[in-house]
Amino acid sequence: MADQLGVGQLGQRLAQIRKRQGMSQAELAELCGVDPVTVSRWETGTRVPDLHAVIRLTQALGVGLDVIVGPIYRPQLDTDDPAEVELVHIWRRLAAADQQLVVGVMRRLLVG
């Protein structure tokens, strides 16, 4: 059942991203606040990171959620406005940390 859920693929993807960045399991574990054995289990597919861990992984690795968990369903846009479409495409390419930064800036601009 784990394979049907793509758990093995998630682990493989996580290991590839980590290695591409020249990071050890111990370094990633430290950035995520977990034991290195936990990272190993995530990468081998024997354990699945919970939502909070996945968020910490996106921050530690500087990638978006879809890079770690794979393609995510994206509904069709309900606009034909080219500016809105461009903004959505830009947003989707941002890493999670950058999205949080943008949200913070927008709150300050809109709320005052």
Using alpha carbons only, give the angle 103, 105, 106 rounded to the nearest 5 degrees. 65
What sign does the CA torsion over 84, 69, 53, 21 have?
A: negative
Residue 6 — pLDDT band, cuts 50, 70, 90?
low
pLDDT digits (tens, 9 = 90+) for 42-69: 999 899 899 899 999 999 999 888 788 7
Distance set, CA 84 to CA 50, 66, 72, 87, 89 (Å)? 32, 21, 20, 5, 9
> Rounded to whole angstroms, how far apart are CA atoms 18 and 14?
6
Residues 6+ apart with CB under 8 A from 67: 13, 17, 58, 61
109 is written with which tokens?
């601009």
Q: Does CATH place domain 7-69 in 1.10.260.40?
A: yes
- Percent of the chain topping pLDDT 70: 87
Instruction: Please say if the pLDDT value at position 8 is more than 80.
Output: no
- Angle between helices 51-61 and 96-111 in degrees, nearest 10: 100
| pTM for this predicted structure | 0.59
Q: Where are the domains of the chain?
A: 7-69, 82-111
